[in-house]
Amino acid sequence: MKIGVPKEIKNHEYRVGMTPSAVREAANHGHEIVVETSAGNGISGDDDTYRAAGAAIVDSAQEVFATADMIVKVKEPQANERKMLREGQVLFTYLHLAPDPEQTKDLVDSGAICIAYETVTDGRGGLPLLAPMSQVAGRMSIQAGAHCLERAQGGAGVLLAGVPGVRPAKVVIVGGGVVGENAAYMAVGMGADVTILDRNVDTMRSLVVRFGQSVKTLYSTSLTLEEEMLAADLVIGAVLLPGAEAPKLITRDLVSRMKKGSVICDVAIDQGGCAETSMATTHAEPTYVVDDVVHYCVANMPGAVSHTSTYALNNVTLPFTLALADKGYKQALLDDQHLLNGLNVCQGKVSYEAVAHDLGYDYIEAKAALGI
């Protein structure tokens, strides 16, 4: 199979779909890999490094899309990239379709086979291709939030850890999954006062086992959420419904009553955000203020730490990339139900139920979409 790796073009996105080591593995399996020039610069992988790994370097994304059987990316294809997709071509990347009707329409119209990293599953009920970026984003959310709390950034001028004689910042994490756990890891390490809200008692038990009395856990209800947010200096939105738009748990009214200079870091923004006041921002302009509350809503947070993120992502995507290339997409999907769960759009049909439901498409079960 011919695998294409274009350069990412989303604002301040420095990750790349395949590392040189992943390219070498694919080449060892007998596949041809074409990489757009400079695609790996953000991870210190220049063109010569990719050539040495077995890739051919081409001058443009157009050449990558025109010649490759499968496109391997990181972020969802941008509008001009979607125009280059063709019928029967495989796209393997993050998609986050539920809050993005324009992208969904373009992918349906393209006739491509679109497999989303974020809905591939594993035998433990997890999302293995989403987990490493959730780990990165969770840890980054505390770094970003601590910076936003500085007075010069519009925050209240609160140091996350405090100092002897001055209280630390109160950090409220809404959601105790992978993002929430990793946010707590950083916040506890920095000495903050940390509370995690969740509705899964087993999740809260595991958090207490890990962090002990360094965190407080609360069952999330509208009342406990309100009480904690009104007392918070930093709120981390870490809510996930796999493949679906994030629920708007944080209302506009609640934001209007938060402390002046407090911060919301909405990690769920790539699925639409969990606050009614959230709207996607970029690394170039990461924040805005609503009712004296600083909002940090960068949709591709891990792109800022591209080296760590790309290698962590390739560690989990490579086996699936090789399966798709070795077997062909149809056989690879049929052989692995967990990979099949990643099929979101297939030759004009929406094959992921939550996306179809949220955006008003007819839902076609994945095997039926494949013609099985």
CA gap 128, 264 in Å, rounded: 26
What residues contact 4, with CB distance under 8 A and at least 6 apart?
Answer: 33, 34, 35, 64, 65, 67, 68, 69, 70, 71, 72
pLDDT reading at 244 higher than 90? no
Which conformational region is residue 69 in: left (phi greater than 0), alpha (psi within -120 to 50 degrees), or beta? alpha
pLDDT tens-digit map of 94-114: 999 999 999 999 999 999 999
- Tell me if domain 2-119+306-369 and domain 131-299 are identical in fold: yes
Domain range annotation of the chain: 2-119+306-369, 131-299
pLDDT at 242: 84
**N- to C-terminal Cα separation, the chain:** 22
pLDDT at 119: 96
pLDDT at 202: 97
pLDDT, the chain, mean: 97
The one catalytic residue in 96, 100, 295, 358 is 96
CA gap 284, 225 in Å, rounded: 31
Tell me the β-bridge partners of 4. Answer: 34, 71
Helix (H, G, I), strand (E, B) or coil at 280: coil
Q: Is 69 among the catalytic positions?
A: no
Pairing of the two strands 263-266 and 234-237: parallel
Instruction: State pTM to two decimals.
Output: 0.91
What residues contact 221, with CB distance under 8 A and at least 6 apart?
Answer: none
pLDDT reading at 240 higher than 90? no
Interval 209-218 mean pLDDT:
97
Interval 33-47 mean pLDDT:
98
Topology (CATH) of 131-299:
Rossmann fold (3.40.50)
pLDDT at 295: 98
Topology (CATH) of 2-119+306-369:
Rossmann fold (3.40.50)
pLDDT reading at 11 higher than 90? no
Closest by CA position to 5, among listed 133, 79, 93: 93
pLDDT tens-digit map of 142-165: 999 999 999 999 999 999 999 999
pLDDT at 137: 97
pLDDT reading at 61 higher than 90? yes
Q: Is 362 among the catalytic positions?
A: no
The one catalytic residue in 193, 270, 336, 358 is 270
pLDDT tens-digit map of 330-345: 999 999 999 999 999 9
pLDDT reading at 304 higher than 90? yes
